[in-house]
């Protein structure tokens, strides 16, 4: 005889221990080392979830458990709306090799009844959900990752051959704030590679052209421009406003200055350079690897390397 949903829940209840909302609150208050897992649907999670909870919708559990959950030995408390889906999810996790799994009885409904704190994610608008839908589908991004992108602040040094494609794709991806620093003006010879600019921009400040192109692609992006050179007198103040710095400079003094400023400010620096058909790219971050000066202690003699 075919099993009903109630039969499946009853079977899971025999295999998965239940824990009360009060006990879960105590574990959180004590700082116990365990994973709190929400297995509801995305819209339910956005409407409010337990503080610190990780999220995998029940339908994606088998696909994403290994990616989202830590070592199988760590205790896991699963919850849903009322406590049924979490029992079924706990049963699946046990089959997948997670032995220490329990289900929160009563789900988030009981948690709310007790007036315990509920966290809420900033909701993406319908337009944002559509605009970024293709990357939101990626499990490595998802809605939470997209929200982080919207809150991120990235500074681009240079709006030329390296800065142009970086700015286009960062804006398209939804990075919320972009800073662009470049003191040059657009020239005809720039146009075959510097895709932030067009023929109509010849003679304009690159920073102005960059802002116009970025905002025409994605009006949501806040663009701050600096039509000036990076100098020891301004570098600290400028980079201090951003989470991540992208080096697209075309000269060595700027690269060394930027490296030193990012090192002392502990800012992650994305480095890039290109010559003809060859390029280099890496990340410099204090305490997590070498810096630019570690790799290149001294700049090459003047005139040896073309810009």
Of 63, 87, 113, the position where a domain reaches its end is 113
Q: Are residues 208 and 265 in the same domain?
A: yes
Q: Are residues 179 and 65 in the same domain?
A: no
Residue 46 structural domain: 5-113
Burial 113-138 (b: 16+ CB within 10 A, else e): eeebeeeeeeebeeebeebbeebbee
Q: Are residues 187 and 238 in the same domain?
A: yes
At 5-63, the pLDDT tens digits run 888 889 999 999 999 999 999 999 999 999 999 999 988 998 899 999 999 999 899 98
Helices (H), the chain: 5-15, 21-30, 42-47, 61-68, 85-95, 107-113, 126-131, 133-136, 142-151, 163-173, 206-217, 235-239, 252-265, 292-295
At 259-272, the pLDDT tens digits run 999 999 999 999 98
Q: Which residues contact 13 (CB under 8 A, 6 or more apart)?
A: 87
What is the tally of structural domains in the chain?
Answer: 2
CATH classification of the domain holding 100: 3.40.250.10
Of 65, 84, 113, the position where a domain reaches its end is 113
Q: Are residues 158 and 108 in the same domain?
A: no
In a domain, 50, yes or no: yes
Of 64, 88, 113, the position where a domain reaches its end is 113
Q: Are residues 159 and 208 in the same domain?
A: yes
269 backbone dihedrals φ, ψ, rounded to 5°? -120, 120
Q: State percent of the chain over pLDDT 90.
A: 72
Q: Are residues 185 and 276 in the same domain?
A: yes
Q: Which residues contact 141 (CB under 8 A, 6 or more apart)?
A: 135, 149
In a domain, 163, yes or no: yes
The two tokens of residue 263 are 């090192």
In a domain, 269, yes or no: yes
In a domain, 147, yes or no: no
CATH classification of the domain holding 222: 3.40.50.720
Q: Are residues 51 and 181 in the same domain?
A: no
Q: Are residues 93 and 226 in the same domain?
A: no
Work out the average pLDDT over 238-257: 91
Q: Does an H or E element contain 180, and which?
A: strand 177-181
At 152-174, the pLDDT tens digits run 999 999 999 999 999 999 999 99
Q: Are residues 173 and 228 in the same domain?
A: yes
Parallel, antiparallel or unpaired: strands 278-284 and 54-55: unpaired
At 54-111, the pLDDT tens digits run 999 998 999 889 888 878 889 999 999 999 999 999 999 999 999 999 999 999 999 9
In a domain, 143, yes or no: no
In a domain, 130, yes or no: no
210 backbone dihedrals φ, ψ, rounded to 5°? -60, -45
d(CA 168, CA 12): 50
Helices (H), 16-106: 21-30, 42-47, 61-68, 85-95
């Amino acid at each position: 005889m075919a099993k009903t949903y109630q039969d499946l829940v009853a079977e899971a209840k025999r295999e998965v221990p239940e824990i009360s909302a009060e006990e879960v609150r105590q574990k959180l208050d004590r700082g116990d080392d365990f994973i709190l897992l929400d297995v509801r649907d995305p819209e339910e999670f956005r409407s409010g979830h337990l503080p610190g909870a990780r999220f995998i919708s029940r339908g994606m559990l088998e696909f994403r458990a290994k990616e989202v959950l830590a070592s199988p030995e760590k205790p896991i408390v699963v919850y849903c709306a009322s406590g049924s889906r979490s029992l079924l999810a706990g049963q699946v996790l046990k089959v997948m090799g997670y032995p220490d799994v329990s289900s929160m009885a009563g789900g988030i409904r009981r948690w709310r009844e007790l007036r315990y704190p509920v966290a809420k994610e900033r909701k993406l608008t319908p337009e944002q959900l559509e605009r970024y839908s293709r990357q939101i589908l990626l499990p490595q991004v998802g809605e939470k990752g997209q929200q982080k992108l919207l809150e991120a602040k990235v500074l681009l040094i240079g709006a030329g051959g390296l800065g142009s494609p970086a700015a286009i794709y960062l804006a398209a991806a939804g990075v919320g704030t972009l800073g662009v620093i470049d003191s040059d003006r657009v020239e005809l010879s720039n146009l075959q590679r510097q895709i932030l600019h067009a023929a109509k921009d010849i003679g304009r400040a690159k920073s102005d052209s960059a802002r116009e192109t970025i905002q025409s692609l994605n009006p949501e992006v806040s663009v701050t421009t600096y039509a000036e050179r990076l100098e020891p007198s301004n570098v600290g103040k400028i980079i201090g406003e951003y989470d991540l710095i992208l080096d697209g400079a075309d000269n060595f003094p700027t690269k060394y200055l930027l490296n030193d400023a990012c090192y002392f400010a502990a800012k992650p620096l994305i480095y890039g350079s290109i010559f003809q058909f060859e390029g280099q790219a890496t990340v410099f971050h204090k305490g997590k690897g070498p810096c630019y000066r570690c790799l290149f202690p001294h700049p090459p003699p003047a005139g040896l390397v073309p810009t």
